[in-house]
Structure 1
Amino acid sequence: MSSEKTYTGSCLCGSIKFELKNVSESRMTCYCIDCRKGSGHLGQILAMYMKDDISITDEDSNMREWIVSSTQSGYPKRKLFCSKCGCTIATIPMKYNGQKLIVRTSLLDSDFEKFVPKKRIFEPVKADFVGCAEGTF
């Protein structure tokens, strides 16, 4: 019996779906400028997968690609997003020659708590006020 577990997610409108094999050990919060601008937030929570461990279904051909050529890492990356709702699904960092994908784990349908980030990247460019809010919202 296999111990492999599958986790599902989708874009905002649901036209692009994905499946992840198991919980990635490479889970992070990224504060780079691209993640800030791409998410409209202060950063993104992500997980890196080998391309064979993620399956993307796009029955209506809504997937589009934007190449980010000027990056803080120095390597271009391919941003995969839904043309219907604008939601970013994954990024393919060309540092790994297309063999790895970075998935937005906030798009998961369930089991979100299993994908708690293990590290923070590009923290030096993180906004100073992140994590400093008092009280509850």
Structure 2
Amino acid sequence: MTASHQGTCLCGSIEVSFNGEPKRNFICYCSDCRKGSGHLGQFISEYNSSDVIVTDKDSKLKEYVVTKTKSGFPKKKQFCGECGSTVLTLPMKHNGEVAMVRPSLLDTKFASFAPNKAIFGDARTEYTKGSESEFY
């Protein structure tokens, strides 16, 4: 049986569903994720784009294309134009076939998406240098 997870952006204008389980769950500490989230990094789950459904009844979904990336390929950041919540990112390195979704949008079952990997950890280390905290 395929699991289905639903969530919304902060204002509720955009609904997102992820079908099945993600390929991987991770935290990304790259500068794009740091700036886009307003935090140290972002919690991301990787899915096939065909397993992600975005419902935008009021046409609030906006897109920003990040062109300066470490991979050299642009990535499309999709977000709510009303509340600013990032909904997903489409890395064009994968021709739009991979969707990086934000499980933080889920209202339930959030804990089942616990990250098991961190990427761009060097940026996190720079930020937390000298801290006694146990960051991932």
User: What TM-score results when the alignment is normalised by the length of structure 1?
Assistant: 0.91
Aligned length: 132
Aligned-pair distance for 1:23?
2.3
Residue by residue over 1:52-95, the C-alpha shift from the partner in whole angstroms, topping out at 9 and shown as x without a partner, is: 10100000000010000001232210000111111110000001
TM-score normalised by the chain length of structure 2: 0.91
- Report SS of the residue matched to 2:64: strand
Unpaired stretches in structure 2, ≥5 consecutive residues: none
Where does residue 88 of structure 2 map in the other structure? 90
Deviation at 1:22, TM superposition (A): 2.0
Name the residue aligned to 1:132: 132
Identity level (%): 45
1:32–1:72 Cα contact (<8 Å) kept: no
| Whole-angstrom CA distance in 1 between matches of 2:32 and 2:70 | 8
Distance 1:122 1:23 in 2: 24
Aligned counterpart, 2:3: 5
Report the alpha carbon displacement of residue 128 of structure 1 after superposing the two structures with TM: 4.0
1:31 matched residue in structure 2: 29
Which residue pairs with 1:52 in the alignment?
A: 50
1:45 is paired with a residue whose SS is strand
Which residue is 1:74 aligned to?
72
**1:35: how far off?**
0.2
Mapped partners of 2:44, 2:112: distance in 1: 12
Structure 1 outlier segments of 4+, above 4 Å: none
In 1: Cα distance, 2:48 partner to 2:74 partner: 18
- The letter of the residue matching 1:96 is H
**Secondary structure at 1:38's aligned position in 2?**
helix
Q: Distance in 2 between matches of 1:102 and 1:44?
A: 11
